[in-house]
């Protein structure tokens, strides 16, 4: 798949529009299709504004911006993508919708075209099984905003041809992205490993260990994270974050590690979805900034306040444990897991490197303390962590 290979994008929302920009910037003739023609028109207008802004800021020559926009072709019908060598869908996270869509795509493109899903948590294998040739179906999970964030998770399904996996890794590198390969398991790397950043923070809030601003400040000022968990949930959208958490929890047969929070469920029920609705864990003004008079969340005043260092340590060891378990289960390599968390969600450092710095024995001791205190399997240490401590090993 060189630059002459046409690329098709199905879904003209934020993700589809961003992926189209990435493909066209890399030099590919790019088709953008949506079942709603007005969505394609809106996306093309938005892309034109984005490229114009880049020109005005001196980040892109005017001629290049025109060339990029000229390579993106609005498609009124899916069959206009018949000559594409790669088709990427970026539609709603619904397995039934995606399976039906892939059947439609397969009927309209050539037999050698690679069919990719941008799913963030659904099974690539299950999507591919809807096709007569599942070996050409693969996951290419871009992160939002796609033109800016470098990470792409490359997820082969059970039936995916290894040659397509290798070709997609090479193509993403050619597009200037940082590809990582991972098994087709719930949440892949990032959405699996990152669950405790949200879940354990919500648990601390539920227990009255700290209020929302305190937890956010602790994770930023002590932990070094770019955003606090509640700010980030509001940015992502509480509906989206809750849906991903539920999907991962259910897909892991209700493993308590991934159990959703009642607090987030209630926010979704109230339609307090975050910045996009003007209210979530915080209230937002007309410019999307946090209202200084924002309420402290649904849990009220902390009744057993914890110091920021305790908050950070508890969330961090849970994140580290997930990363270690991903290595243990062969989800991805050590280096790809650390790269994914640094590039996909802007963690201050790779979690496995962080584990070495904290000391694996200290991480194990904290997890065992939490497991003893709560008596829950949620806090069970990874078998790999136990073995590495026993044998005196480190990750780096």
What residues are labeled active site?
Answer: 120, 141, 153, 191
Angle (nearest 5°) at CA 265 between 263 and 270: 95
| Both tokens assigned to 83 | 């000559």
Strand partners, 7: 30, 86
Best CA proximity match to 212, nearest among 187, 237, 234, 242: 234
Sheet holding 86-89, edge to edge: 72-75, 30-33, 7-10, 86-89, 114-117, 137-142, 151-156, 178-181
Q: CA 153, 156, 158, 162 torsion: positive or negative? A: negative
Q: Is the separation of the CB atoms in 208 and 220 below 8 Å?
A: no
Distance of CA 194 to the CA centre of its chain: 9
The CA-based diameter of the chain, rounded to the nearest angstrom, is: 63
Q: Say if residues 20 and 63 touch (Cβ distance below 8 Å).
A: no
By the 8 A CB rule, do 245 and 211 touch? Answer: no
Kindly report the backbone phi and psi dihedral angles of residue 208, in degrees, each rounded to the nearest multiple of 5, phi listed first.
75, 25
Contact 90, 15 (CB under 8 A): yes
């Amino acid at each position: 798949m060189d630059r002459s290979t046409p690329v098709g994008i199905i879904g003209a929302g934020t993700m589809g529009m961003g992926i189209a920009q990435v493909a066209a910037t890399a030099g590919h003739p790019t088709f953008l299709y949506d079942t709603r023609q007005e969505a394609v028109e809106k996306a093309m207008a938005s892309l034109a504004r984005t490229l114009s802004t880049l020109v005005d800021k001196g980040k892109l020559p005017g001629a290049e911006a025109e060339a990029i926009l000229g390579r993106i072709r609005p498609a009124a019908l899916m069959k206009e993508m018949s000559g594409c060598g790669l088709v990427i869908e970026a539609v709603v996270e619904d397995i039934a919708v995606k399976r039906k869509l892939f059947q439609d795509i397969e009927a309209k493109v050539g037999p050698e075209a690679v069919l990719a899903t941008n799913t963030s948590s659904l099974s690539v294998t299950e999507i591919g099984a809807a096709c007569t040739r599942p070996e050409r179906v693969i996951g290419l999970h871009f992160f939002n905003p796609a033109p800016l964030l470098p990470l792409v998770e490359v997820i082969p399904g059970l039936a995916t041809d290894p040659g397509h996996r290798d070709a997609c890794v090479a193509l993403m590198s050619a597009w200037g992205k940082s590809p990582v390969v991972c098994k087709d398991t719930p949440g892949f790397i990032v959405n699996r490993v990152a669950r405790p950043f949200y879940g354990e923070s919500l648990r601390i809030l539920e227990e009255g260990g700290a209020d929302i601003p305190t937890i956010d400040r602790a994770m930023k000022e002590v932990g070094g994270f770019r955003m606090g968990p509640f700010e980030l949930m509001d940015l992502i959208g509480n509906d989206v974050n809750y849906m991903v958490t539920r999907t991962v929890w259910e897909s892991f047969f209700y493993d308590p590690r991934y159990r959703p929070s009642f607090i987030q469920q209630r926010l979704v029920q109230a339609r307090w979805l975050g910045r996009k609705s003007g209210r979530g864990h915080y209230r937002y003004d007309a410019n999307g900034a946090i209202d200084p008079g924002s309420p402290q969340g649904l849990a009220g005043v902390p009744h057993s306040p914890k110091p920021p260092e305790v908050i950070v340590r508890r969330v961090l060891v849970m994140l580290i444990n997930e990363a270690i378990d991903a290595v243990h289960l062969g989800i991805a390599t050590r280096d790809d897991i650390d790269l994914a968390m640094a590039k996909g969600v802007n963690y201050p450092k790779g979690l496995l490197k962080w584990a070495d710095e904290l000391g694996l024995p200290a991480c194990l001791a904290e997890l065992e303390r939490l497991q003893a205190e709560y008596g829950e399997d949620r806090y069970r240490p990874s078998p790999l962590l136990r073995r590495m401590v026993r044998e005196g090993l480190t990750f780096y």
